[in-house]
């Protein structure tokens, strides 16, 4: 066979080799043990000495050339393969990362923490009591006897006769005074329960009770402490007023109003055109309550107050539906 045409044929075949595996097939077919060159060398045997030398040298050169070509292509395909792998695993370090959702404290927790912070800075410590409470602590000891009309002020969940879900945090007053001698200076935050459910009531909500008892505590102390609290909570310039009221466990009693935070006192839907918003109940501890816990009302005086945490949070953040606190809608919660 004409070696020149063999070379052309090899070149043609090489040009159709497109990857490592077809190169390998080519290598076996041409350079392999039973390949083209083996066959050519085999054929040399039938030639005479002179011819064999010339022909053999040419075949060898051609074979070296073919081996070189295969090596070249092999390196080329291997590089290509390497680059392809690199590209596939390439990371764009300048790409912005995914932002993880970060938790934060609930607006009620924030409000409660702020209330607690203000009162602890005024020397109050934090007391607690059970959510499931005896009728005795929730009503009786707070000077609300059975059949007293004041029981209708709160729609009570009864657990069993004599046991209720506490309707307010005031029972913590009684528990604290029962177990401590004066002076007492506590706040009692916690959940309370009433059978009520609408835009401004949920069956469970939160209150903070306050109690300050010692010798010579006067109504002016009540006024002073609550004024400081309201100014810290709602701002120095917030107007407030003490309005006479009634609670069975205090005498005298007062409710505290602040100037409407929505309309600044000019009158709106939220303040029912009065310009004022009620934010807590308070009063001087009733002598009967002192007698029940074994304090001497001739010697000891004190004041108490109670406020709703949801109500304060609603006014502070301008929320008009109390139920928003309990839907756990991230669009609502992530605003705080």
Question: In the complex with ligand DAH, which residue's Cβ is closer, 209 or 310?
Answer: 209
Give the whole-angstrom CA distance, residue 119 versus residue 210. Answer: 9
CB of 211 to ligand DAH, least distance (A): 7
> In the stretch 194-223, what mask flags binding to ligand DAH with x, by CB under 6 A?
---------------x--------------
> In the stretch 87-106, what mask flags binding to ligand DAH with x, by CB under 6 A?
--------------------
Alpha-carbon 133 to chain mean position:
31
CB of 329 to ligand DAH, least distance (A): 28
Which residue, 239, 155, 260, 142, is CA-closest to 198? 155
Query: Residue 304: which residues within 8 A CB-CB, separation 6 or more?
Result: 170, 173, 209, 210, 211, 212, 249, 250, 282, 283, 285
Residues of span 229-248 touching ligand DAH by CB under 6 A: 247
Give the whole-angstrom CA distance, residue 14 versus residue 66. Answer: 9
Q: Which residue has the tokens 């029912």?
A: 272
Burial of 116 (0-12, 13-18, 19+ CB in 10 A): middle
Question: In the complex with ligand DAH, which residue's Cβ is closer, 229 or 305?
Answer: 305
CA dist 269 to 59, 153, 201, 265, 321, Å?
106, 24, 17, 11, 13
CB of 276 to ligand DAH, least distance (A): 17
The answer to whether 309 contacts ligand DAH (rule: CB under 6 A) is no
The answer to whether 302 contacts ligand DAH (rule: CB under 6 A) is no
CB of 142 to ligand DAH, least distance (A): 8
Question: Binding residue for ligand DAH (CB under 6 A) from 138, 143, 176, 282?
Answer: 282
The strand pairing partners of 285, in sequence order, are: 250
Question: In the complex with ligand DAH, which residue's Cβ is closer, 170 or 176?
Answer: 170
Question: Binding residue for ligand DAH (CB under 6 A) from 306, 311, 314, 315?
Answer: 306
CB of 135 to ligand DAH, least distance (A): 15
Question: In the complex with ligand DAH, which residue's Cβ is closer, 242 or 247?
Answer: 247
Give the whole-angstrom CA distance, residue 137 versus residue 144. Answer: 10
Pairing of strands 301-308, 184-193: unpaired
The answer to whether 281 contacts ligand DAH (rule: CB under 6 A) is yes
Using CB under 6 A, count the residues that bind ligand DAH: 11
The answer to whether 283 contacts ligand DAH (rule: CB under 6 A) is yes
Give the whole-angstrom CA distance, residue 69 versus residue 289. Answer: 107
Question: In the complex with ligand DAH, which residue's Cβ is closer, 190 or 281?
Answer: 281
Pairing of strands 184-193, 125-126: parallel
The strand pairing partners of 184, in sequence order, are: 213
Residues of span 129-168 touching ligand DAH by CB under 6 A: 168
CB of 103 to ligand DAH, least distance (A): 31
Question: In the complex with ligand DAH, which residue's Cβ is closer, 259 or 308?
Answer: 308
Question: In the complex with ligand DAH, which residue's Cβ is closer, 111 or 250?
Answer: 250
Show the tokens assigned to 93: 């370090």
- Chain residues binding ligand DAH by CB under 6 A are 168, 170, 209, 247, 250, 281-283, 304-306
């Amino acid at each position: 066979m004409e070696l020149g045409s063999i070379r052309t044929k090899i070149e043609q075949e090489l040009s159709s080799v497109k990857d490592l595996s077809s190169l390998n097939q080519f290598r076996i077919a041409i350079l392999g043990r039973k390949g083209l060159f083996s066959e050519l060398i085999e054929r040399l045997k039938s030639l005479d000495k002179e011819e064999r030398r010339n022909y053999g040298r040419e075949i060898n050169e051609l074979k070296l050339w073919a081996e070189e070509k295969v090596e070249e292509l092999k390196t080329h395909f291997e590089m290509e393969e390497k680059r392809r792998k690199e590209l596939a695993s390439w990371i764009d370090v300048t790409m912005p990362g995914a932002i993880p959702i970060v938790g934060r404290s609930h607006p009620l927790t924030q409000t409660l923490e702020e209330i607690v912070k203000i009162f602890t800075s005024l020397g109050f410590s934090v007391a607690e009591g059970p959510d499931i409470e005896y009728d005795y602590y929730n009503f009786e000891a707070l000077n609300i006897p059975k059949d007293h009309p004041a029981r209708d002020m709160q729609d009570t969940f009864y657990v069993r006769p004599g046991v209720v879900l506490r309707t307010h945090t005031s029972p913590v007053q009684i528990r604290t005074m029962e177990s401590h001698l004066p002076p007492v200076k506590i706040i009692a935050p916690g959940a309370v329960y009433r059978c009520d459910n609408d835009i401004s009531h949920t069956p469970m909500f939160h209150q903070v009770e306050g109690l300050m008892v010692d010798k010579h505590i006067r109504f002016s102390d009540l006024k002073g402490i609550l004024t400081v609290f309201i100014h810290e909570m709602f701002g120095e310039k917030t107007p407030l007023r003490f309005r006479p009221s009634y609670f069975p466990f205090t005498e005298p009693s007062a409710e505290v109003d602040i100037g409407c935070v929505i309309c600044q006192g000019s009158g709106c839907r939220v303040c029912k055109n009065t310009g004022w918003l009620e934010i807590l109940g308070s009063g001087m501890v009733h002598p009967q309550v002192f007698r029940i816990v074994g304090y001497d009302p001739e010697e000891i005086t004190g004041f108490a107050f109670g406020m709703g945490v949801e109500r304060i949070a609603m006014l502070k953040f301008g929320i008009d539906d109390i139920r928003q606190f309990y839907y756990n809608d991230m669009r609502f919660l992530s605003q705080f």
